[in-house]
């Protein structure tokens, strides 16, 4: 019966993308209610919500890296060894755990499982102790019907301890949610697909869009725009032929027209005011290029952005060059920063700037 099914889910995404992920969840999923956001330092963020629809719909989300049905939770962990007994008891006895199992594996019977444990904060026990507590609960509940394996399991049980909070979920997603099947070529410093999807979402895609990524690298932003919604035209390009070739290989399987050029982003062969939306991940920090090259690139690139973007057009730009971006845009007065989101990318914090052409 549907009334038996658990209604609480959570998704994991990159640190800082939680608010953007919630925007997508709210738009894509009917009858959804926000519960909370949790942050695992230097790892990822978690968005918890209640949803009354088909859990398969969660697998269509693009700003997230993994999706789970909640199997057990505790709000007031002691941070000492008593937590482990509580975790074992929840897994062994909670009706929510069995309801979650039925949702993920409705046929029941014998199966293989693996446990992924994650722990953030100071506790008297280790991460492996947390995992073993889950195993004990499974063994107490299901006996030999469930067999513990290291990989290729029928079911994955994820236990997250974040300070004094426990979230235990059964994984709904596969690795393709995180890595994307279209990526046949990966280049150094390639953008995470979930971050690219977040940047595209913030452009507010429309079916009449002429979309541009002027420094497309391996084409992740272009691919996510293709998959996000209809569009009129999509263009991308990069200075290096190796990168444009990688983009073309990653985009060819998507079955939608995207034109990719080898070009200089400071001299775009596009008409003034011809582009509606832009998403771009220019070099920054230790990612690519020297500080001098970056300092020379940003003024000329933002000048071209101001030229090709139509009045009222919208751009999302990811960079950690905070002062440089603000300094350039103070001089490029036709471009206005509307807001931004700080996110962790490639081991450092950057910011997605949402920019409008006045």
- Residue 50 above 70 pLDDT? yes
| pLDDT at residue number 272 | 98
- Residue 2 above 60 pLDDT? no
| CA-wise closest residue to 147 among 159, 158, 138, 157 | 138
Structure tokens belonging to residue 340: 């931004």
Task: Give this prediction's pTM.
Answer: 0.94
Q: What are phi and psi of 266, to 5 degrees?
A: -90, -5
The whole-angstrom separation of Cα 254 and Cα 237 is 18
Would you place residue 3 in the very low, low, confident or very high pLDDT band (cuts 50, 70, 90)?
Answer: very low
CATH of domain 2-177: 3.30.2130.30
The whole-angstrom separation of Cα 225 and Cα 248 is 14
Helix (H, G, I), strand (E, B) or coil at 111: strand
- Residue 11 above 90 pLDDT? yes
Lowest mean pLDDT among 28-42, 85-99, 201-215, 317-331: 28-42
| pLDDT at residue number 348 | 85
Q: What is the mean pLDDT of the chain?
A: 94
Structure tokens belonging to residue 151: 């990989």
Topology (CATH level 3) of domain 180-357: Rossmann fold (3.40.50)
Largest CA distance in the chain: 69
Average pLDDT over residues 286-315: 87
| pLDDT at residue number 1 | 28
- Residue 145 above 80 pLDDT? yes
Structure tokens belonging to residue 54: 């088909």
For the chain, give every domain's residue range.
2-177, 180-357
pLDDT tens digit string along 85-123? 999 999 999 999 999 999 999 988 899 999 999 999 999
The three-point CA angle 155-159-164 to 5° equals 165
What are the residue ranges of helices labelled H in 253-317? 291-308
DSSP 292: H
Q: What is the DSSP string of 66-103?
A: EEEEEEEEES---SSTHHHHHHHHHHHH-HHHHHHHHH
């Amino acid at each position: 019966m549907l009334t038996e099914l658990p209604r609480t889910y959570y998704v994991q995404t990159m640190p800082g993308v939680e608010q953007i992920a919630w925007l997508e969840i709210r738009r894509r999923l009917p009858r959804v209610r926000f519960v909370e956001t949790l942050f695992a330092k230097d790892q990822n963020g978690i968005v918890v919500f209640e949803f009354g629809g088909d859990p398969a719909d969660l697998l269509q989300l693009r700003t997230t890296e993994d999706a789970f049905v909640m199997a057990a939770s505790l709000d007031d962990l002691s941070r000492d060894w008593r937590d482990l007994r509580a975790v074992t008891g929840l897994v062994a006895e909670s009706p929510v755990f069995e309801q979650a199992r039925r949702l993920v594996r409705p046929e029941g019977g014998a199966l293989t499982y693996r446990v992924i444990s994650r722990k953030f904060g100071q506790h008297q026990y280790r991460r492996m102790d947390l995992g073993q507590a889950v195993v004990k609960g499974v063994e107490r509940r299901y006996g030999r019907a469930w067999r513990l394996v290291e990989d290729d399991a029928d079911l994955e049980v994820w236990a997250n301890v974040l300070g004094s909070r426990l979230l235990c979920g059964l994984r709904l997603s596969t690795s393709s949610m995180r890595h994307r099947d279209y990526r046949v070529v990966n280049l150094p410093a390639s953008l995470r697909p979930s971050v690219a999807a977040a940047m595209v979402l913030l452009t507010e895609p429309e079916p009449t869009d002429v979309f541009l990524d002027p420094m497309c690298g391996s084409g992740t932003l272009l691919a996510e725009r293709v998959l996000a919604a209809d569009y009129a035209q999509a263009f991308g390009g990069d200075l290096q032929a190796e990168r444009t070739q990688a983009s073309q290989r990653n985009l060819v399987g998507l079955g939608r027209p995207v034109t990719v050029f080898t070009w200089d982003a400071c001299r775009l062969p596009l008409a003034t005011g011809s582009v509606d939306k832009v998403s771009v991940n220019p070099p920054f920090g230790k990612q690519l290029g020297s500080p001098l090259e970056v300092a020379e690139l940003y003024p000329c690139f933002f000048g071209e952005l101001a030229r090709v973007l139509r009045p009222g057009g919208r751009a999302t730009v990811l960079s950690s060059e905070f002062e440089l971006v603000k300094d350039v845009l103070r001089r490029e007065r036709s471009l206005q920063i509307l807001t931004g989101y700080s996110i962790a990318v490639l081991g450092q914090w950057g910011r997605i700037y949402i920019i409008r052409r006045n």
